[in-house]
Each structure stands twice: as structure tokens, then as C-alpha cells.
Structure 1
């Protein structure tokens, strides 16, 4: 059984590509992902599962590390919530994206770092402890910064309630993480055993989310995918490049620079998709950038991790 879960974890980028192909061939097969059951939003429930699994891998010590490495954390978090949103806004304007795609792209830029960054950092021989701390801190402060920055960037283009978004992030992100953290604190041995399975479970959930969003928006993606996919690729590589620049200018060592670059480029794209569906229901295409970014960051990230591991010393 462990071998199956390890296989899923190791070849996640291939599985997510397969999910994309299946969702394009059989788009209705994953409609349930974006539906509701007894008033429960399935997409947000799936996101909560991913964040809960993240919580079970965290310990109080991970947050204590923030105070041990204040400079690195400050640089990483500042880059996360300044550079990424500005990249998204700039690309949306340069490519004259419509309102829905602009909203989706902005949300990709304003959400916290994704948990996959920790795995890619490990594979790339970066500083895993720093990556975990950055992901945890950016996630914890996201209920405040994500709605606030989103409001500043697109509040004059479309109406939405930042308070409602704040509440959504608390429900989707903070509560599951806290529950996972408590479980790990009370039952550390049990959570240690879970670590063998959780990355694969998270991978499967992310594949379902991506397949659901792409299936529902098949026509919109096929008619606009060339431009938005190009934008997503540029956004990813700009983030990676600027992450290297920021880390270098901050005087960090090689492992820390790699970590900052990866952390900046890897976003919680699933959360951006969930927020787009929940708070911009009239803009169905707003969920597309998050789904496409999830596919691309995991595919490109796996390749870059190999390159970093083999050739960046």
C-alpha cells in the first residue's frame, strides 16, 4: 500500500496531466467537484482536506523557527505578498485579460505559498525548514493579506466583500490547519505514520480540483487557453527569477536562495480557485487561472527540482 502512495507522490506531475486530459475528454465526469451537497461547497471541503493534511505535518517548533530566522522569513513573506501580486496585475494589464481572468490571475498572486513548495524544495536540496516556515507563516496571515491586497488591486474594477473572503479563508485554511496541528500535538506517533500517505492524498485531491475546474470551463479554456497559459508560464518563471534576485540581494546562501525562489513561484492555486468560485460566482472563468497554474507549477517544478539537484551547487 505504501508503494502505491509513494508512486502517486513521486509521479504527481504525470497524474495531474492525465487528470487534465480526462477532464477535457469527459468534462461532465468531474462536475460534482464544483457542486454542493447539503449546502456544503465540495470544492472548499476538498481544499480543507489538503490544509488539514498540512496541519498534521506541522509542529509548534515550526513557528518558533520564525524567530530564529527573522531576516529570511521577512524577506520571503514580503516577496510573497508584494512581488507575486504585482506580477499578476502587470501581466493582466499587459495582455489585456478580461475581467474574469484578471480576477483569477490576481487571486493566484495574492494567496499564500503552496504546500507543494516544501516537497520541491526538498527535491531541489534547498532549505526545507525555511520552506516549511514560509509556507506556514504566509498561510496563517493570508486571511488578512489576501483579501486586503485583492481589494487594493481590483476593488475598483469589481465589487466583492473582503470581510466575507476573510471568513472564507479562516474556514477553509486556518481551522483545518489548527485541527491538524492539534492532532499532531496530541497524537504525534499517529501523525508520523500518516506522513507516508498524506502527500499522495493531497495530490489526489488537487488533481480532482483541477479536473473539476477544467471540465466545467472546457469551452472557455479551449478558446482562451493559448493566452492565459502563456501568462501563467510567464508569471511562474518571473516569480522564480525574481525569487533568485531577492535572495541574492538579501545576502542569503545557495540553499536559502533556491528556497525563496521556489516558495515565491509555488502558490496555493487550489485556494485561489476556491475563492474565485465562492466570491466571484458570476465570473466562471475566474477559476481557470488557478487550475492552470496548479498544473503548470507542479509539472515545471518537478523538472526544475531535478535541474537544481543535479546542476546547481
Structure 2
């Protein structure tokens, strides 16, 4: 059983491509992911599971690293919440995306870094401790910055309630992480055993979310596929290149430069999808950029990690 979970963790990009393929052939097979049962939003519940697993891997020491590396953390977080949203806004304007796709792309840019960045950083020979700290800090402050930046970028075009988004992120992100942290503090040995299984479990949940969104928006993806796919790929690579540039300009070492680049490009796209569905329910296409970004970042990241490892040595 452990070998199966390790396989899923290592070859996540294959699993997610398989899920996407099934969702395009049998779109209704993952319809339940976007449903509500007894008033519970299934997609948000699944996202909470992913953030809970992240919490079980964190310790107080991960946050202490913030004070040990204030420069690197400050640069990484600033890039996360300044550069990434601006890339999204610029691409939406350059490619004249419709309102729904613009909302989805902006949300991809304003959410915190994704947990997959820690794994890719490890495979790339980067600074794993820095990656964990950046992911944790960007996630913890996301209830404030994600709604605020989203409102700043699109609030004059689309009405939404940033306070409601703040509450959603608290419910989906912060509470599950705190529960995971407490569990790790109280039962460290138990959580250590879970580490062999939780990354793969999180990967499976993300695959289901992506498959559900893509299946539900199959027609919309095909009608606008070329444009939005190009935009998503550009968003990823521009973020990666700017991450390298920022790290180099502030004098980081090779491992730290790789880490900042990965952290900037890897977004919590599942959260962006959940926020799009919850706060922009009339815009079904708003969930598409997050789903496509999740597929691309994991596929490209798995390949680029080999190149990065050679660069870090």
C-alpha cells in the first residue's frame, strides 16, 4: 500500500493527466465534486482536507525560520503578492479575456503558494526550509491579502464581498491548518507515520477537484482552449523567470533563487478554483484558469525539477 502512495506522490503529473483525460471523456463522472450535500460544499471540504494535511507536516520551527531569514522571506512574500497578481492582470488585458476568465486568472494570481512547491523544491535541490516557510507564511496571511488584492484589481468591474472571501479563506485554509498543527503537536509520532500517505492523498484530492472543474466546463474549455491555455502557460513561465530575476537581484544563493522562483510560480490553484465557485457562482468559466493552472504547474514542475537540480549543484 505504501508503495502505491509513493508512486502517486512521485508521478503526480501522470495521475492528474489521467484524471483530466477521464473528465473530458466522461465529464459527468466527477460532477459530484462541485455539488452540495446537506448544505456542505464538497469542493471546499476537499480543499480543507488538503490544508489539514499541510498542517500536520508543520511545526513551530517552520515559523521560527521567518525570523532567521527575514530578507529571503520578505522578498518571497512580496513577490508572491505583488508580482503574481500583476502578471495575471497584465495577461488578462493583453489577451482580452472575458470577465469570467479574468476573474479566474486574477484569483490564481492572488492566492498563496501551493503545497506542491515544497515537493518540487526538494526534487529541484532548492532550499526546502525556505520553501516551507514561504508557503506557510503566504497561506497564513492569505485571508487578508487575497481578498484585498482581488478587490483592488477587479473590484471596480465585478461586485463581490471581500469580507465573505476573508471568512471563506479562514474556514477553508486557516482552521484546517491550525487543527493539523495541533494534531502534530499533540501526536508527533502519529503524524510522522502519516507523512508516507498524506502527500499522495492530497494529490488525489487535487486531481478530483481539477477533474470536476474541467468536466463541468468541457465545452467552455474547448471553445476558448487555445487562448486560456496559452495564458496559463505564460503566467507560469513569466512567474518562474521573474522569480529567478528577483532572487538574483537581491543576492540570494542558487538554492534560494530556485526556491523563490518555484514558490512564485506554484500557486494554490485549488483554492482559487474554490473561491471562484463560491464567490462568483454565476461565472462558471471563472473556475477554469485554476483547474488548468493546477494541471500545468505540476506537469511542467516535475520536468523542470531535473533541470533545476543540475543548476543548483
Fold similarity call, TM over 0.5: yes
Q: Which residue of 2 aligns with 1:76?
A: 76
For residue 114 of structure 1, give the secondary structure of its aligned residue in structure 2. coil
Q: Which residue of 2 aligns with 1:67?
A: 67
Q: Which residue of 1 aligns with 2:143?
A: 143
**Runs ≥4 in structure 1, deviation > 6 angstroms?**
none
Following superposition, the deviation at residue 309 of structure 1 comes to 1.4
Following superposition, the deviation at residue 307 of structure 1 comes to 1.2
Q: Which residue of 1 aligns with 2:93?
A: 93
CA offset digits 1:129-167 (Å, max 9, x no partner): 000000000000000000000000000010000000000
Following superposition, the deviation at residue 311 of structure 1 comes to 4.5
Q: Which residue of 1 aligns with 2:186?
A: 186
Distance 1:21 1:127 in 2: 34
For residue 22 of structure 2, give the secondary structure of its aligned residue in structure 1. helix
Q: Which residue of 2 aligns with 1:160?
A: 160
Q: Which residue of 1 aligns with 2:250?
A: 250
Q: Which residue of 2 aligns with 1:58?
A: 58
CA offset digits 1:1-42 (Å, max 9, x no partner): 110100000110011001110000000000000000110000
Q: Which residue of 1 aligns with 2:305?
A: 305
For residue 293 of structure 2, give the secondary structure of its aligned residue in structure 1. helix
Following superposition, the deviation at residue 310 of structure 1 comes to 3.0
The TM-score normalised by the length of structure 2 is 0.99
Superposition map of 1:227-306 within 5 A? 227-306=227-306
Distance 1:61 1:18 in 2: 37
Following superposition, the deviation at residue 70 of structure 1 comes to 0.3
Q: Which residue of 1 aligns with 2:212?
A: 212
Following superposition, the deviation at residue 308 of structure 1 comes to 1.1
CA offset digits 1:41-63 (Å, max 9, x no partner): 00000000000000000001100
Ranges in structure 1 where 5+ consecutive residues have no aligned partner: none
Ranges in structure 2 where 5+ consecutive residues have no aligned partner: none
| Superposition RMSD in Å | 0.5
Distance 1:132 1:311 in 2: 21
Distance 2:258 2:224 in 1: 33
Q: Which residue of 2 aligns with 1:198?
A: 198
Following superposition, the deviation at residue 96 of structure 1 comes to 0.1
Deviates more, 1:303-312 or 1:264-273: 303-312
Distance 1:137 1:225 in 2: 34
How many equivalent pairs are there? 313
Following superposition, the deviation at residue 312 of structure 1 comes to 4.5
